[in-house]
Chains A and B, each alone.
Chain A
Amino acid sequence: MQNIEAQIEALQSQIAAMEKKIPSNKISMIVFSGDMDKVLAAFVIATGAVAMGMEVVMFFTFWGTPILRDKTKKAGGKDTMGKMFGAMLPKGTCEVKLSKMNMGGMGTAMMKSLMKKKNVASLEQMMEMAEEFGVQIFVCEMSMDLMGFKREEMIDYSGMSYCGVATFLEQANDSKIQLFI
Chain B
Amino acid sequence: MSEEIKIAKVMDLKGLPCPMPILKVNKGIKEVEIGQVIEVWSTDPGSLSDFPSWARTRGQEILKTDQHGEVTKFYIKRLV
Specify which chain A residues have a CB less than 8 angstroms from the CB of B17 in the assembled complex.
Answer: 118-120
Closest residue to A52 on the B side, CB-wise? B57
Known: A52-B54, A52-B57, A52-B58. A129 touches B23 (CB 8 A): yes
CB-defined contacts of A52 to chain B, threshold 8 Å? 22, 53-54, 57-58
- Complex Cα spacing A73 to B53, Å: 42
**Is A51 located at the chain interface by the 8 A CB criterion?**
yes
Chain B facing A: main interface SS: helix
Shortest beta-carbon distance from A57 to chain B in Å: 18
The B-contacting residues of A in range 42-82, CB under 8 angstroms, are 44, 47-48, 50-53
Which residues on the B side are within 8 Å of A129 (C-beta)?
23
* Chain A residue with the shortest CB-CB distance to B58: A53
Q: Complex formed: what's the CA distance from A147 to B58 in Å? A: 42
Distance of A110 from chain B, by nearest CB (Å): 17
CB distance from A44 to the nearest CB of B (A): 5
Instruction: Give bound CA distance, A121 to B24, whole Å.
Output: 13
CB pair A121–B20 under 8 Å, yes or no, is yes
| Residue of B16, B18, B19, B22 with most partner-chain A CB within 10 A | B19
Residue of A nearest to B56 (CB): A52
Whether B19 pairs with A48 at a CB distance below 8 angstroms is yes
Q: Which residues of B contact A48 (CB under 8 A)?
A: 18-19, 22-23
Q: Is residue B26 within 8 Å, beta carbon to beta carbon, of the partner chain?
A: yes
A53 to B23, CA, bound (A): 11
Q: Could you tell me if A47 and B19 are in contact, using CB atoms closer than 8 angstroms?
A: yes
B18 pairs with A44, CB closer than 8 A: yes
Cβ of A58 to closest chain B Cβ, rounded Å:
15
The 7 A-B residue pairs whose C-beta atoms are closest, nearest first, are: A51-B26, A48-B19, A51-B22, A44-B19, A52-B57, A51-B23, A120-B17
Interface residues of A (CB under 8 A from B): 44, 47-48, 50-53, 118-121, 129
